Amino acid sequence: MKKSQISSALSDFFFEYETPRQVLVRNRRVGVVCRLIQLGVLVYIIGWVFIYEKGYQSTDIAVSSVFTKMKGVGYTNVNGVERVWDVSDYVFPPQVVLYLLMNSRLSLFQGEMTGVCVNTTNTCEVLAWCPVEDDRIIPSPPLLMSAENYTLFIKNSVTFPIFGVTRSNLVEGIDADYINKCLYHPEDAPLCPIFRLGDIVKLSGFNFETIAQEGGTIGIVIDWTCNFDVAVKHCKPKYNFHGLYGNPSDTGQTRPSLGYNFRYAKHYLENSVQKRTLLKVFGIRFDIIVQSLARKFDIIPTLTAIGSGVGIFGVATVVCDLVLLYLLPKREFYKNMKFKYTDTPIQVRSRQCAK
């Protein structure tokens, strides 16, 4: 007996198919609600998941490297002292990605109190470089206003490891002849890797004379947003420029920390005495930021998106069932049509005895 039951159960399991019972309800209001919900889900899947979010593609972020080179020669004449400034004088790689000196003043920093009082001057003795610093006066106009016409060359390489694609901002058509004569312009030459400093400052929203006087920071964003479902040659960079320190329209009185500057010293010996020249320099700090996002068709996210969309279609059934079974006047009728009630053998005998 048990063996026969087991065989029957296995036979039913492997050779029979069960499907849910469906009830066709002819109700206009419920039908309209169902179709509207299904239409909304369909629009969400096609419009948002596939078109806007591109749910059929996998993504990758690039590994990037940046190389920069500044060109330009400046000339100053301060109190009859002439000087020529080249790249080694006004560019400071150790400070940041790139720091361009625009203005400076010679000063000497205060030192340590010795605890000794100087009666002749009624002051306290300080062990320091002499004379002490007075940084209240900033040279105006800035020393290197000619830097507005300096040029900055940026070479950027990105690799998308998942897709095995490597690109450079020297894309197709950017050869040596083109670089020798091009200058970046957002519309006329958007792929040229050589930038005029005055244009960078202008595109970032700052005024060149103001930023040269007191310093500032500019972010150069290189954006690699690529779709590898089309030819790789269409993956090209886009450049954006942003003033990072303060709002360009703010005045000095409304900004808590104005500009950007730092100090550095040049040490030397004179008559066997160690001396130094301390400079407080004001300049432009360039932060070069590379942001990237590459996409390519992948069957796994595609099936995942489709599966989640099909699951969301079940929302229409749940909502319509709630309306049918709990909100409509004929809800008891629909409950009897939707659910089939079964009785246990005891309940059946009790009902027969009652008859």
Binding residue numbers for ATP = 69-71, 151, 261-263, 280
Backbone angles phi, psi at 3, to 5 degrees: -65, -40
Closest CA to 262 of 148, 109, 149, 125: 109
Instruction: Please give the annotated binding residues, written as ranges.
Output: 69-71, 151, 261-263, 280
- Burial state string for 82-116 with b = 16 or more CB within 10 A and e = fewer than 16: eeebeeeebbbeeeeebbbbbbbbebbeeeeeeee
Strand, helix or coil for residue 11: helix
Closest CA to 284 of 80, 3, 47, 91: 91
CB 127 within 8 A of CB 108: no
CB 70 within 8 A of CB 93: no
Other beta carbons within 10 angstroms of residue 207's beta carbon come to 13
Cα torsion angle, 36, 41, 47, 52, sign:
positive
* Radius of gyration of the CA atoms of the chain, in A: 38
Cα–Cα distance, 92 to 281 (Å, whole number)? 11
Cα torsion angle, 325, 326, 332, 333, sign:
negative
Cα–Cα distance, 38 to 257 (Å, whole number)? 56
